[in-house]
Structure 1
């Protein structure tokens, strides 16, 4: 991992850990509405490092893995895999794919992968990884949020009661 990436990612990891519900509410409101917040949430970062440490694709760590429960009334929990990406990386979609599968393989629970792109490349917006061989196809679509898109909403972020809005404002000013 480059020193620059660590310096940019670490404050994000800390902010997500402290304000996870607010992070989801601001960047992924459709997900926020489906989570049973009364049941809480659990960070699984430490357990996960052993699962992905053998990955042969790019950086060998997952930014955030969280266990939540859905509001659907069933005893079901899902894993939310979050990657913060600070620069264009052609291997990034493959890394999301590999980590998503390894998480599923470990826990046998549904996994939703989300990417928050904090880079300055307006055109780089990966949303999937797939491969195909002889009619056999494997594809993962993941949800991507590009922080550059929030520059249009600076005044809304400044007036927001959501503490995670400050994190986004700070990132946009760097």
Structure 2
């Protein structure tokens, strides 16, 4: 998956990482089903991000943003617990198996507990399937084996996955469709809308829909000319279902963008806020003329902020026109 197809991942905002955090039991149920009944979910689970960062800080085997370390409790009578080390690898890497070995050993050395290592391989190289690391010398040997799950292997199951209620079934289909539509963005828009509509049909609550939408939106990115079409069709679908869950994400993003612009104080930030407002206005009041778009882009920062809040109450283009006249 090229950088043009998805936004770059960061340590604080990786969609795979967010999805695992939001739906960890479902992650285990989907990718590691043999472990699911052996975990005492009533005891809860704990993400050990700080511990993992300390353990891997000087590994020098490639900086990763989607490693997760989670402590769980088994169904055993004693309070034994298992560490699940998760890797989401988007590109083939010659040092990957070695890194899994090093991380696994360091986790064991730190906690002295059983470690289940799971690698989610999201790359496009069909024959790259690391699952073990072995190093020998004069009768001595270091060896580790880990669960290796290739997302490409789910291609033949895509239709079946769409009937599942597990969030990771939808996530895998979104990943496969992102790969299949790199050169056909119109088809990507159609599939993206189909997947998002499916979230409502599964009777997910609003939080689950929004979390899954963020993941789908990140994977199935669209060019600007198709983005507005997508949002208009989605807004119409939400009105039909009377479930305005996802368009609220746009409002959250708008407010976040405004805050970033205020902090940066840069022209680039103002342009980004203006673009977000133009897109949100298109959803609220319909098509904007080039003249109206130019007026928005010429607004100073305080008025952009005011418009970003006011537009949430607009019902049609007349409300927007009245606002412009009052702020001219």
Distance 2:153 2:55 in 1: 33
After TM superposition, the structure 1 stretch with the greater mean CA deviation from structure 2, 53-62 or 95-104, is 53-62
Larger relative strand fraction: 1
Relative contact order higher in (CA < 8 Å, ≥ 6 apart): 1
1:111-150 alignment, distance < 5 Å: 111-150=115-154
**SS where residue 94 of structure 2 aligns?**
coil
Larger Rg: 2
Aligned to 1:92: 96
Structure 1: runs of 5+ lacking an equivalent: none
1:29-40 alignment, distance < 5 Å: 29-40=33-44
Distance 1:5 1:72 in 2: 43
Structure 2: runs of 5+ lacking an equivalent: 179-328
Does 2:157 match 1:153?
yes
- In angstroms, what is the RMSD of aligned CA positions? 2.0
Aligned to 1:7: 9
TM-score by length of structure 2 reads 0.50
Query: Shift of residue 50 of structure 1?
Result: 1.4
Aligned to 2:207: none
Query: Shift of residue 60 of structure 1?
Result: 5.5
**Does the Cα contact within 8 Å between 2:9 and 2:65 map onto a contact in 1?**
no
Larger relative helix fraction: 2
Distance 1:101 1:163 in 2: 31
Aligned to 1:48: 52
Moved over 4 A (4+): 3-6
